[in-house]
Amino acid sequence: MSQKILVFAEQRDGQFRKPALEICSAAAELAEKHEMSLSAVLIGEGVANIAPQLAEYGISEIWAGEGEGLNRYNLENYAAILQQAVKQLSPNTIIMAASAMGKELAPYLAAKLGVGLAADLTELIVTDGKISAKRPVFAGKAFVNVAFQTEMQLFSIRPNTFPAEKRPTSANVQKLSFVLPAEGARSQVKETLRQESKRPELTEAGIIVSGGRGMGGPEKYVVIEELADLLGAAVGASRAAVDAGWRPHSDQVGQTGKTVSPNLYIACGISGAIQHLAGMSSSKFIVAINKDPEAPIFKVADYGVVGDLFTVVPAMVTELKK
Amino acid sequence: MKIYVCVKQVPDTETKVKVAEDGKSLDERDLTLILNPYCEFAVEEGLRIKEKLGGDVTLVTVGPDGAKAALRSGLAMGADSAIHLSADNARMADSFVIASLLAEQIKAGAPDLVLMGKKSVDTDMQAVPPMTAALLNLPIVTAVVEAEWNIDSAKLVREIEGGKERYEMAYPLIATIDKGLNEPRYASLKGIMQAKKKPIETKTVNLSGETLVIEKMSYPPVAQPGKIVGEGAAVAPELIRLLREEAKVIE
Ligand SMILES: Cc1cc2nc3c(=O)[nH]c(=O)nc-3n(C[C@H](O)[C@H](O)[C@H](O)COP(=O)(O)OP(=O)(O)OC[C@H]3O[C@@H](n4cnc5c(N)ncnc54)[C@H](O)[C@@H]3O)c2cc1C
Ligand SMILES: Nc1ncnc2c1ncn2[C@@H]1O[C@H](COP(=O)(O)O)[C@@H](O)[C@H]1O
């Protein structure tokens, strides 16, 4: 039987976030290479209007699950809509992003459907026309290849794993019909608070500049913020910096913080403790700036600079401004 | 308030991971095991709720015999009692199987509130809590970073990309706790002594009905030793050139 992939492309406030486009592009590549059929489902108010954007990333068949109030994410409603989409479209494979939403929704849906879930995966593997996955365990200290015991399979893909590549096709948008469950009312999001920031979100950022205990204080972060802004980067921190109260918890990278895999990670004044590496070792390029030549961070860095970050980072800024 | 906290025993975050001879499981020799850090946040939160609203805190774990140690750690922090669902091969077991066992136990105990960790740092799945919620048809909020627990409802905040979501929910509910909500207390000597006398109810369970199995466990590719570009501010131009031309990661 040929494979049928269904992608859930999440939107927030009428916009697709980068991980949604990444998984569309990855699924489209997979479908094309292995002759699988492909469709996407959207949920939200008036999402049919933004659906054609997905065709830019290679998905033609798009199902719009529209309804009033659906712009506000609600686990039970979203899961129920997806369950009904699965029933109508009968995919073998469901793909979503391992975003804040996907991390909650994917396992919930998996249990409702009674299907296996490979969460936060970093590699899709196709053997004999069947899709499976490789995913990190022990915070990246090992990887496992998983085998599904169920007919259907669900995947959530770590943001920044695949590039969001344009592969334009024509859009065929259809309305998905569904009914909402009574439970949906129990856990309404009362309010969504936006933190206005000109910087990208940590888990989605292509470049991250991170500062650790070597920063020496909260006010010193302006030094790396300037570099970050020139690069269009997000700013991260080690636990030492967060626990000292210099940066918010949401900035922490590591085993008990965020897992990130940007194209470029610049670690400034971070020693490279195993729990920090746990959160960033899947970055594609790592730069370390540390005054201690013995710092373990140099073992994982592609490029290292031994020196005082307060002179090295401003010199980088000067160079970039040239 | 009847509170259940689901906890898991995991290898210490410093542990060097060794793949066992079968090529698909963890070599458990010489492992230091700890209470999962996120579960510690959940235990702490449970104790604070009990201190505020009254009630009792019961720990639940699915794990091998040795997982009792993790229950003792939570009891030493101040939990009242514990339930040990004992199964030898539970450590890296399928999240769905674990969730099914927890769901059954939660259904039988009918707590007002179930707290869990955001994730376990061995499987890194972040899947057991939402699966448990789905099986029990209970509402859930994951990765809670701010909370106000009142007698019949809770105000919970979780982080999303570029913002936060604020929830208000009535019990019964499930919440998973993220770092930042609280600072777990250390067990006092008295706590540790008392923990030895607190009741642990043990039931042997069967792990079956897997939806996903591990076929192979491997090490990450060995990182190529990087290069030290140089020392001090003088290397900035060369570093930027390398990032542009060799790595091609900046413009
Ligand atoms: C259960 C558990 C979970 C943990 N989770 C995390 C986690 O999620 N994330 C995390 O980061 N850590 C985590 N940790 C903590 C981790 O073990 C380290 O303590 C922490 O990462 C250290 O942070 P740091 O590198 O900023 O500080 P340090 O280890 O103190 O390193 C500071 C570095 O800055 C350098 N430096 C100082 N001044 C300068 C300067 N002017 N210029 C250049 N370099 C300078 C020093 O040479 C040093 O290498 C966890 C620990 C445990 C036990
Ligand atoms: N074997 C287990 N026994 C009890 N609780 C568990 C078990 N596995 C996971 N959990 C709970 O689910 C949370 C998230 O784990 P996971 O889904 O494995 O990342 C943990 O912090 C625990 O609270």
Name the residue among B14, B160, B217 with its Cβ closest to that of A142. Answer: B217
The verdict on a CB contact (< 8 Å) between A207 and B247 is: no
The verdict on a CB contact (< 8 Å) between B162 and A255 is: no
Q: Which residues line ligand 1 (CB under 6 A)?
A: A 212-214, 238-241, 252-257, 269-271, 273, 275-276, 279, 289-292, 295, 308-310; B 13, 37
Please give the single-letter amino acid code of residue B8: K
CB contact set of A47 (below 8 Å; sequence gap of 6+)? A11, A14, A64, A65, A66
Atom 22 of ligand 1, nearest CA residue: A240
Mutate to test the pocket of ligand 2, among B44, B100, B120 (most ligand atoms within 8 A of CB): B120
In this predicted model, what pLDDT tens digit does every residue of B152-169 receive, in sequence order?
999 999 999 988 999 999
Q: Does any ligand 2 atom lie closer than 6 A to the CB of residue B61?
A: yes
Residue B140 has pLDDT above 80, yes or no: yes
CA distance B176 to B236: 44
CB contact set of B107 (below 8 Å; sequence gap of 6+)? B136
| The pLDDT value given to residue B61 | 98
| The pLDDT value given to residue A194 | 80
In this predicted model, what pLDDT tens digit does every residue of A150-159 receive, in sequence order?
999 999 999 9
Q: Is A182 exposed, middle or buried (0-12, 13-18, 19+ CB in 10 A)?
A: exposed
| Nearest-Cα residue of chain B relative to residue A19 | B161
More confident residue, B198 or A72: B198
- Mean pLDDT rounded to a whole number for chain B: 95
Which tokens in the block code for residue A177? 């019909």
Residue B32 has pLDDT above 80, yes or no: yes
Ligand 2 centre to CA of B102 (Å) is 9
- Region B43-58: what's the mean pLDDT? 98
Q: Give residue A63's Cα distance to chain centre.
A: 22
A287 CB neighbours in chain B (<8 A) are 239, 243
Residue A190 has pLDDT above 90, yes or no: no
| The pLDDT value given to residue A133 | 97
Do A121 and A133 form a contact (C-beta atoms < 8 A)?
Answer: yes
Q: Does any ligand 2 atom lie closer than 6 A to the CB of residue B123?
A: yes
The verdict on a CB contact (< 8 Å) between B232 and A256 is: no
Q: Is B19 exposed, middle or buried (0-12, 13-18, 19+ CB in 10 A)?
A: middle
B174 CB neighbours in chain A (<8 A) are none
Domain ranges (residues) in chain A: 4-175, 202-321
Q: Are strands A15-16 and A37-44 parallel, antiparallel or unpaired?
A: unpaired
The verdict on a CB contact (< 8 Å) between B247 and A302 is: yes
Nearest alpha carbon to residue B142 among B53, A154, A181, B134? B134
Atom 31 of ligand 1, nearest CA residue: A271
CA distance A302 to A287: 6
- Taking the CA of A213 as reference, the closest ligand is 1
Atom 14 of ligand 2, nearest CA residue: B119
Work out the minimum CA distance from B158 to partner chain A, whole angstroms.
9
Find where tokens 């296996």 sit.
Answer: A116
| The pLDDT value given to residue A263 | 96
| The pLDDT value given to residue B225 | 74
Q: Does any ligand 2 atom lie closer than 6 A to the CB of residue B90?
A: yes
CA distance B1 to A185: 23
Domains of chain B: 2-204 (3.40.50.620)
CA distance B227 to B247: 13
Three-state SS string over chain A comes to CCCEEEEECCEECCEECHHHHHHHHHHHHHHHHCCCEEEEEEEECCHHHCCHHHHHCCCCEEEEEECCCCCCCCHHHHHHHHHHHHHHHCCCEEEEECCHHHHHHHHHHHHHHCCEEEEEECEEEEECCEEEEEEEEHHHCEEEEEEECCCCEEEEECCCCCCCCCCCCCCEEEECCCCCCHHHHCCCEEEEEECCCCCCCCCCCCEEEEECHHHCCHHHHHHHHHHHHHHCCEEEECHHHHHCCCCCHHHEECCCCECCCCCEEEEECCCCCHHHHHHHCCCCEEEEEECCCCCCHHHHCCEEEECCHHHHHHHHHHHHHC
CA distance B87 to B93: 10
The verdict on a CB contact (< 8 Å) between B180 and A250 is: yes
Name the residue among A99, A141, A146 with its Cβ closest to that of B17. Answer: A141
The verdict on a CB contact (< 8 Å) between A315 and B218 is: no
| The pLDDT value given to residue B15 | 86
Ligand 2 centre to CA of A25 (Å) is 32
| The pLDDT value given to residue A36 | 94
Nearest alpha carbon to residue A29 among A172, A166, A170, A146? A166
Under CATH, what is the fold of the domain A202-321? Rossmann fold (3.40.50)
| The pLDDT value given to residue B202 | 98
In this predicted model, what pLDDT tens digit does every residue of A147-185 receive, in sequence order?
999 999 999 999 999 999 999 999 999 999 999 988 767
Nearest alpha carbon to residue B221 among A142, A34, A207, A261? A142
| Nearest-Cα residue of chain B relative to residue A100 | B160
Please indicate whether the domains covering A4-175 and A202-321 agree at the CATH topology level: yes
Give the distance between the most distant pair of CA atoms in chain A: 61
Whether this model's ipTM surpasses 0.90 comes out as yes
Name the residue among B137, B165, B178 with its Cβ closest to that of A189. Answer: B165
Name the residue among A132, A304, A311 with its Cβ closest to that of B232. Answer: A311
Whole-number CA gyration radius for chain B = 21
Ligand 1 centre to CA of A287 (Å) is 15
CA distance B209 to B204: 16
Which tokens in the block code for residue A175? 């309305």
Q: How many residues does chain B have?
A: 251
The verdict on a CB contact (< 8 Å) between A249 and B17 is: no
Q: What is the pTM of this model?
A: 0.96
Helix (H, G, I), strand (E, B) or coil at B142: strand
Edge-to-edge strand list for the sheet holding A93-97: A116-121, A153-157, A93-97, A4-8, A37-44, A61-66, A172-175
Under CATH, what is the fold of the domain A4-175? Rossmann fold (3.40.50)
Name the residue among B122, B212, B228 with its Cβ closest to that of A116. Answer: B212
Residue A120 has pLDDT above 90, yes or no: yes
Q: Which of A72, A123, A144 is the mutation pick for testing B, counting most B CBs within 10 A?
A: A144
CB contact set of A96 (below 8 Å; sequence gap of 6+)? A7, A8, A10, A23, A102, A105, A106, A154, A155, A156, A157
